[in-house]
Structure 1
Amino acid sequence: MFAAPLSAQVLAPEPVPEEEVVDATAESGFEAWLSTYRASAQARGIRPETLDAAFTGLHFSPRVVALDRNQPDDSGVATLFSDYLSKRLEPVREARGRAARERHAAKLAELEAATGVPASIVLGIWGMESSYGAVTGNFDVLRSLASLAYDGRRRELFERELTAALTMLDKGLATRERMKGSWAGAMGQPQFLPSSFVASAVDGDGDGVADIWESGDDTAASIANYLKRAGWQRGLGWGVAVQLPADFDRERVRDLVQPRECVRVLAKHSRWVPLSEWKKLGLTRADGNPWPADNTLATLVEPDGPGGAAYLTFGNYRRLLDYNCSNFYALSVALLGDALK
């Protein structure tokens, strides 16, 4: 999969982290790990003075590790998508989305023409990630990334992100003070992880700087650029809400191939089936609109299981999962975007 922001779903105001009481053994282990990591970062070309400035006073955060183990749709804890969605598609967020759509209409149209990524999808991600800049997180990004790398559950990922964050500092792409964000190290209005910033952040307002913290045009352009680089297909859309017949046999479409990435999330998808076959199986569009082309491949997703909402998702839906591997997240982005069309 494309290198994803792993946005960590910053969807409600995060409190400024309080001082944590850290177990002495954990802190000692963290310091030993940090010393070893520092040597490898310096070997990769990060300047010693950058490392000094970044690591002075850096401590392990058990709170960040605890948050990493309690994500919706990936924690093993039962959470209903209907409950999740009702807290995201709410009047304040939609009002902010409409204001952003009007304020950046020209740029969104320009981006859609250039990249094929619809304005609605850009707005959906922007709204889900930071409520259009209102909530960007108060965690120290370097502390979060270092703590998660030391924890080891996803060490390779977070060591890579920590190195990318240090690269940003080393090249002057951001200041140490600016690197505040989610507990997972995601920053700015699009909640990019450092590697995504390095790869996809672009200047959208013409001032020569990619500023995802303050510039709305840069934020929109960076989101569109990310999805384009990830493989968004122009004109396809993300999917459609559907209704299933009462006697629908899910075994007929069960995917027998075990997913190799995003396993818990993709395990809730059917196999790929053309729309022509879905229609023969009795599925209808919930909104009554015309279907896309019959040869369009789609997977069935029922986030709350049989009897709940159901969606046929196209290839572009996987690009939303690249951004954050959660069906709850990707569907919320898509549905928020649809509401803002």
Structure 2
Amino acid sequence: MLRTLLLLATLVTLPLSAAAQDRAAVERQFRGWLVQTVWPRAQAEGVSRATFDAAFDGVRLNWDLPDLVAPGTTPETPRRQTQAEFGAPGKYFNRNSVDGATAVGRQMAARHAGALAATERATGVPGRIILAIWGRESGYGRVAIPHDAFEVLGTKGFMSTRAPYFTDELIAALKIAEAGHVPPRAMKSSWAGALGQPQFMPSNFLAFAADGSGDGRADIWRSEADTIASIGSYLARHGWQAGRDWGFEVVVPPSVSCTLEGPDQGRPIATWEEMGIARVSGKAFPAAERAGEGYLLMPAGRHGPAFVVTPNFYVLKDYNMSDLYALFVGHVGDRIAYGMGDFEGDWGRVGGLYRSDVAAMQRALQAQGHDVGGADGLAGYKTRRSIGRWQEATGQTATCFPEAGMKAALAH
């Protein structure tokens, strides 16, 4: 699920050709689809006609959204994908983003200490982690959330490459309006339909949104207390383990292969320690963590910082399926609460390849029998360690990260 705001993500696609489409006719088809398809489903889910009509009053198709497939046309292939979570690691941790989220986060920690403490008591999720997610998703509510949710979800439900998914989310949004959490015109979303300050998709709102203010509603658009409670609820319901950290930056000696990365290769943190992995701070791993399972994380392979993370790291990934996102949240949370500085490891000049180039490498690795997790052009842990295994099998030093020259080498 992608909840990132327009300021943090851009998907560049070929525009729909106005000459090839009679947009007025398509708009009429859209109105017919709302009445004939959406309304019966919404009515069956308990949505009143008054709520339905209010939600779509004045709503038209938004032709500027990405991934649209107008009736009678075929999907157009994106030229390139530059979403921040999947680009160059060093760029994701740029100075302004990290320092800004930290500085404002400390202000918010003081301003909302009561709500944060109440949510931590109720869920076991540390306030610093909630703050870091809030900061990353909407700048602590300071970043404008520009779109009408019913315009976005209606457009995408009617004519996008994932129309059934967005239609389901549109029904969920109507149920939110019916329950009175927020008036339809105040229901603002990102270009992907993610709602409010925590950037929940509507179905996630229905499952996890919480009333932190005690007024009987979960208003994640206008209530900081509800936003804090909702983020804590989401993480707790996804398995956050109270009393455990998210992870630790470490030094990985050459004797430990980067191919050992991944949540399916966990072992007690004490075992990683026995293998020679140590915290960059020089401190021992906390006694309470040593018996717990930990996982090697090397998001830039040998070209960047390395970490031993806990199961809580993967709970953060449930919020946004990106290693860099989860790492940013953990790191900024630590900076807010503990005054920690930058990572000791340097990211190096890696990443930034086109997804098509990474996908070509993935297909070549698949042909050799490697499990890369799918040829999607994203260098996740399965792709990273598959590159390392290929490097080791061909007599190279494993670096476990895609580089431009590998595309041609893998083709032979």
Same fold (TM over 0.5): yes
Match of 2:227 among 215, 219, 232: 219
Relative to 1, partners in 2 of residues 1:332 and 1:231: Cα closer, same or farther, differing over 3 Å? Answer: same
Relative to 1, partners in 2 of residues 1:114 and 1:41: Cα closer, same or farther, differing over 3 Å? Answer: closer
Partner of 2:243: 235
Q: Distance in 2 between matches of 1:173 and 1:137?
A: 17
* CA contact 2:208–2:230 (8 Å) conserved in 1: yes
Relative to 1, partners in 2 of residues 1:44 and 1:71: Cα closer, same or farther, differing over 3 Å? Answer: farther
Q: Distance in 2 between matches of 1:147 and 1:176?
A: 16
Partner of 2:48: 47
Match of 1:318 among 293, 314, 320: 314
* CA contact 1:9–1:129 (8 Å) conserved in 2: yes
Relative to 1, partners in 2 of residues 1:173 and 1:113: Cα closer, same or farther, differing over 3 Å? Answer: closer
Partner of 2:391: none
> What's the CA shift for 1:275?
1.2
TM-score (norm 1): 0.81
1:41 counterpart letter in structure 2? A
Match of 2:114 among 81, 106, 111: 106
Identity of aligned residues (%): 38
Deviations 1:266-298 (A, max 9, x none): xxx562222122223321112333314333222
* CA contact 1:149–1:155 (8 Å) conserved in 2: yes
> What's the CA shift for 1:87?
5.4
Structure 2 residue 283 is matched with structure 1 residue 289: yes
Relative to 1, partners in 2 of residues 1:97 and 1:21: Cα closer, same or farther, differing over 3 Å? Answer: farther
* CA contact 2:130–2:232 (8 Å) conserved in 1: yes
Q: Distance in 2 between matches of 1:88 and 1:9?
A: 17
Match of 1:298 among 283, 286, 294: 294
Match of 2:21 among 20, 24, 44: 24
2:274 counterpart letter in structure 1? K
Partner of 1:58: 59
* CA contact 2:48–2:178 (8 Å) conserved in 1: yes
Q: Distance in 1 between matches of 2:58 and 2:41?
A: 19
Deviations 1:314-335 (A, max 9, x none): 1111211111111121111111
Q: Distance in 2 between matches of 1:126 and 1:334?
A: 12
> What's the CA shift for 1:56?
4.1
Larger radius of gyration: 2
Relative to 1, partners in 2 of residues 1:314 and 1:62: Cα closer, same or farther, differing over 3 Å? Answer: farther
RMSD: 2.9
Report the more deviating stretch, 160-169 or 50-59. Answer: 50-59
Partner of 2:191: 183
Report the more deviating stretch, 296-305 or 95-104. Answer: 296-305
> What's the CA shift for 1:201?
2.2
Report the more deviating stretch, 137-146 or 35-44. Answer: 35-44
Report the more deviating stretch, 147-156 or 20-29. Answer: 20-29
Partner of 1:72: 83
* CA contact 2:41–2:171 (8 Å) conserved in 1: no
* CA contact 1:88–1:128 (8 Å) conserved in 2: no
Secondary structure of the equivalent of 1:177? helix
Report the more deviating stretch, 242-251 or 135-144. Answer: 242-251
Query: Structure 2: 5+ residue runs without aligned partners?
Result: 11-15, 69-77, 338-412
TM-score (norm 2): 0.68
Q: Distance in 2 between matches of 1:81 and 1:335?
A: 14
Aligned length: 314
Partner of 2:272: 278
1:72 counterpart letter in structure 2? Q
> What's the CA shift for 1:175?
0.7
> What's the CA shift for 1:62?
4.2
Relative to 1, partners in 2 of residues 1:25 and 1:313: Cα closer, same or farther, differing over 3 Å? Answer: farther
2:277 counterpart letter in structure 1? L
Query: Structure 1: 5+ residue runs without aligned partners?
Result: 15-19, 256-268
> What's the CA shift for 1:149?
3.0
Partner of 2:397: none
Deviations 1:232-289 (A, max 9, x none): 11011211111211343233x256xxxxxxxxxxxxx562222122223321112333
Q: Distance in 2 between matches of 1:114 and 1:142?
A: 33
* CA contact 2:5–2:145 (8 Å) conserved in 1: no
Match of 1:138 among 138, 146, 155: 146
Relative to 1, partners in 2 of residues 1:114 and 1:165: Cα closer, same or farther, differing over 3 Å? Answer: same
Report the more deviating stretch, 38-47 or 235-244. Answer: 38-47
Relative to 1, partners in 2 of residues 1:13 and 1:154: Cα closer, same or farther, differing over 3 Å? Answer: closer
* CA contact 2:47–2:178 (8 Å) conserved in 1: yes
Q: Distance in 1 between matches of 2:147 and 2:95?
A: 23
Q: Distance in 2 between matches of 1:119 and 1:42?
A: 39
2:281 counterpart letter in structure 1? D
Deviations 1:148-179 (A, max 9, x none): 33345434432222111001112222111211
> What's the CA shift for 1:131?
1.1
Q: Distance in 2 between matches of 1:12 and 1:152?
A: 21
Partner of 2:158: 150
